Structure 1
Amino acid sequence: MPPKPHAVPLCQPLRHARFRQLWLANMLSNLGSRMQAFAAAWQIATLSHSPQLTALVQTATWAPMLLFALPAGVLADTLHRPTLLFRSNAVMALTAVAMALLAYDGRQPLPALLLLTFIMGAGLAFTMPAWQASMSSLVPPQEIEAAATLNNMSYNLAALAGPALGGVLYQLAGAGPLYLLNALSFGALLWIYRRWRTTPAPRTAAVSHGMGSALRISWASARYRALLSYAMAIFFVSAAFAALLPLLHRDAATYGALMGALGAGAVLAAFVLPLARRHAARRVVLAGGLGIHGGMLMTIGLAASQPLRLAMVVVGGVAWSAIVTTLNGAAQQAFPDAVRARTLSVHILAIAAGQTAGSAAWGMLAGYCGIVPALTTAGLATLACAGLIACSKDFLETV
């Protein structure tokens, strides 16, 4: 019997050369993406001063996932994944160049910024199923959860440095350099994808047929249905943090520091979570993460000082990493490689539905009753999710 995923040392997947190369290149790309996300959110927050418009940055980012996740998953299962990844990353790099040109030209039209953010999200939508399926296929099954934790740590190392660096660069030179750096950050990934030569996957299904099979296979598993339902609900309630945080402060450096603190907590989680998983079931880890994250959402708007807010967000980042890696690890282990990308696309679709609807909903609620009450309500809803999962069957252990 293979060892349990949580028994695998965190760095063990890095022994595999291709996984290691892609992990390092993706970390560089994540750094650029986090700086761009900071610049776009801060630009729109300062130009509009509107909770609804600011929240639309998250909506524009996640709506493409809702629209394209299923066809993207089918394409990832039926086409040559490195070629698909090269093309989707090239689209994102070109979109970043377009955003940089707008910024350097001095024009900052909100509709154009939101449209380009949407196109960037579309590129990410076509990347995610192929990326997750490719990375999990590069390691043995018992290392998949460790690989998911490493991928999340890569993302959050960038989340730690990206917003802080972005805040400094934004104050010194504006948004243009941040967008340009993001375009350049795709270089290493594009180079690796160009060199990655494997036998193309057989094109055995039309996209429309494959989309139906993705839904059918996913829906046939009661445990996977439960995973999808909880993922949608969790991302709906948690969307308030990213959607409303730019409006809590009107200073780019402060906003960048808070986003960096979230990344710092998630990096710390890479060392804390293996110990937690050694002593607790996945359901308990997920419920605990939700409880802590919900408490952070409830109190972040009421904190009296910036150091206290930073400490709270660091703890919230640990909790958020526990939530994301637990859900992603379960989704990646649910089905064999032949259908993994398309079933992962349904998982991404559920997350995108929750994040897209949540961003819009919390933005409207903040516009109606204020930012702090909206965050407090989101925190209470997150605590409710934690309670439901704590009292549910241990579906994550047997997906």
Structure 2
Amino acid sequence: MFRSLRNRNYRLFASGQVVSNIGTWMQRIAQDWLVLDLTHGSGTALGVTTGLQFLPMLLFGLWGGVIADRYPKRRVLMLTQASMGLLALVLGALAVTGAARVWHVYLLAFLLGLATVVDNPTRQSFVIEMVGRRDLPNAIALNSASFNGARLIGPAVAGVLIAVLGTGPVFLLNAASFGAVLFGLYAMRQDELHTAEPVARGKGQLREGLRYVWGRRDLTLVLVLVLFIATFGMNFQVTVALVSREVFHTGASSFGLASSMLALGALTGALLAARRAARPRMRLLIGAALLFGVLELVTGLMPAYWSFLVLLVPTGIALMTFTTAANATMQLGVAPEMRGRVMALYMLVFLGTNPIGAPVVGWMAEHFGARLSLVVGGLIAMASVLVVTALALPAAVRRPSAVLKALRPRRTADAVDASET
């Protein structure tokens, strides 16, 4: 399950990520709570904040992939991580001094998004340079486990700290956590990295990446499925906050607990994926997406807070099974010189659609009830499965039995390897 950790460089990277991810999740909870406090519980403002944080990914995400392919990824990551730590420090200083205004949060969220534009595709495509192709699926799953383990701890700690100290110290702790990542990157052994040859600067490289993905039907269908689910089904940063506060009338600590329950499920799903650590099949991807949609819908209908918490666990398992399979499918199916641009497109769809989905979900929750935001997200996730199945299997519209037959694993297809979180 943990074979990628035999690699020294990856151990350094993973250790730094555990510390930094805890800080990042603490900041997410603190940022949401600060916005709700500054705006007296506005769901629209919360959605706008989330949207602004991901707007740069929508506008400039593809160029981040070009940078990832052109320059040494380790050096780029050191610059982006230092920038993100500085932004957390500024927000912490504003909150501690009582000078924070909602427009400050909006601006800093947007600037954080700009750093993420370059950081995300670089970090995703750097994994294979640390562990190689053989251990890549395992490393992707362990990265997800690290992220969601931090998601389990961070919100709960943040909820307690916010209740005792306020939001400011939480931002300052997150700023300090980036030191662990920077140390890990600095301490790596360059000669042990499987460094890809940087792509020389040239015209049309962005279009080249788009043409590459468009010509790959398998990659395109994964992106379509991720597009629907990420835009409307994965806005838990907005929906869990609103359901916890507006439906069940809980405080910051209970909101943190709800986020941690979702993370518990996601961590479980990531560890299950690490045990499997094989190249995922389309059947797994579609099945996990469908199950996630059903569970999200049911979660939104739970009548009591404790049942809402319980349903968040299997919802997280299904979500992480889906996202891990989608990530591995994209990374293992591309040529090394295209990986940065392909992963930039993946992250554009995965995160860059939040500026569209988050404000819509926030507005919907504010005007029609917080529950509806979860129910609609689940319905759209289920509908997206039907859309992708129809695109992949046109004949299935006339012969439904063809769906099951086509989704069975094909030994010859699985043996083909066209060539990375």
Instruction: Tell me the residue number matched to 1:6.
Output: none
Q: Quote the Cα distance in structure 2 between the aligned partners of 1:220 and 1:302.
A: 41
Aligned equivalent of 2:81, options 81, 89, 92: 89
Q: What whole-Å deviation, never above 9, does each CA across 1:328-369 have from its counterpart, x for those lacking one?
A: 001111212222111111111122343321112212222332
Aligned equivalent of 2:221, options 223, 226, 232: 226
Q: Is the 8 A contact 1:265 1:314 kept in 2?
A: yes
Instruction: Tell me the residue number matched to 1:36.
Output: 27
Instruction: Tell me the residue number matched to 1:7.
Output: none
Aligned equivalent of 2:8, options 17, 23, 43: 17
Q: What whole-Å deviation, never above 9, does each CA across 1:245-289 have from its counterpart, x for those lacking one?
A: 2111231111100111111111111343467788x9632322332
How many pairs were matched up? 388
Q: Quote the Cα distance in structure 2 between the aligned partners of 1:275 and 1:29.
A: 24
Q: Quote the Cα distance in structure 2 between the aligned partners of 1:192 and 1:281.
A: 30
Aligned equivalent of 1:204, options 196, 200, 204: 200
Q: Quote the Cα distance in structure 2 between the aligned partners of 1:308 and 1:374.
A: 18
Q: What whole-Å deviation, never above 9, does each CA across 1:34-91 have from its counterpart, x for those lacking one?
A: 0001100111123322221111232122112112321111111111211111111111
Instruction: Tell me the residue number matched to 1:167.
Output: 159
Instruction: Tell me the residue number matched to 1:5.
Output: none
Does residue 323 (structure 1) correspond to residue 322 (structure 2)? The answer is yes
Q: Quote the Cα distance in structure 1 between the aligned partners of 2:277 and 2:311.
A: 22
Q: Is the 8 A contact 2:261 2:312 kept in 1?
A: yes
Greater CA drift, 253-262 or 230-239: 230-239
Q: Is the 8 A contact 1:66 1:349 kept in 2?
A: yes
Instruction: Tell me the residue number matched to 1:337.
Output: 336
Does residue 62 (structure 1) correspond to residue 43 (structure 2)? The answer is no
Q: What whole-Å deviation, never above 9, does each CA across 1:105-155 have from its counterpart, x for those lacking one?
A: 112211110111111122122111111111122223232211111110010
* RMSD value, Cα: 2.4
Change (3 A) 1:386 1:221: closer
| Residue type of the alignment partner of 1:266 | A
Instruction: Tell me the residue number matched to 1:259.
Output: 259
Aligned-pair CA distance for 1:291: 2.7
Aligned-pair CA distance for 1:203: 5.6
Q: Quote the Cα distance in structure 2 between the aligned partners of 1:110 and 1:299.
A: 33
Greater CA drift, 163-172 or 331-340: 331-340
Q: Is the 8 A contact 2:137 2:274 kept in 1?
A: no
Q: Is the 8 A contact 1:283 1:390 kept in 2?
A: no
Q: Quote the Cα distance in structure 1 between the aligned partners of 2:198 and 2:254.
A: 50
Instruction: Tell me the residue number matched to 2:186.
Output: 194
Q: Is the 8 A contact 1:83 1:194 kept in 2?
A: no
Q: Quote the Cα distance in structure 1 between the aligned partners of 2:364 and 2:85.
A: 34
Instruction: Tell me the residue number matched to 2:146.
Output: 154
Q: Is the 8 A contact 1:76 1:342 kept in 2?
A: yes
Q: Is the 8 A contact 1:52 1:360 kept in 2?
A: yes
* 1:1-399 equivalences in 2 (<5 Å): 10-48=1-39, 49-196=41-188, 198=190, 201-202=197-198, 204-206=200-202, 209-250=204-245, 251-273=251-273, 282-389=281-388, 392=392
Identical columns (%): 26
Q: Quote the Cα distance in structure 1 between the aligned partners of 2:178 and 2:352.
A: 27
Q: Is the 8 A contact 1:61 1:121 kept in 2?
A: yes
Change (3 A) 1:284 1:222: closer
| Other structure's SS at 2:134 match | helix
Q: Quote the Cα distance in structure 1 between the aligned partners of 2:61 and 2:297.
A: 31
Greater CA drift, 269-278 or 49-58: 269-278
Instruction: Tell me the residue number matched to 2:396.
Output: none
| Other structure's SS at 1:335 match | coil
Q: Is the 8 A contact 2:232 2:357 kept in 1?
A: yes
Change (3 A) 1:65 1:96: same
Q: Which runs of 5+ in 2 are unaligned?
A: 246-250, 394-406
Instruction: Tell me the residue number matched to 1:4.
Output: none
| Residue type of the alignment partner of 1:193 | L
Q: Quote the Cα distance in structure 2 between the aligned partners of 1:385 and 1:100.
A: 40
| Other structure's SS at 2:373 match | helix
Change (3 A) 1:17 1:274: closer
| Other structure's SS at 2:204 match | helix
Q: Quote the Cα distance in structure 2 between the aligned partners of 1:226 and 1:386.
A: 10
Instruction: Tell me the residue number matched to 2:248.
Output: none
Q: TM-score w.r.t. structure 2 length?
A: 0.86
Aligned-pair CA distance for 1:185: 0.6
Q: Is the 8 A contact 2:293 2:378 kept in 1?
A: yes
| Residue type of the alignment partner of 1:345 | A
Greater CA drift, 162-171 or 102-111: 102-111
| Residue type of the alignment partner of 1:214 | G
| Residue type of the alignment partner of 2:316 | G
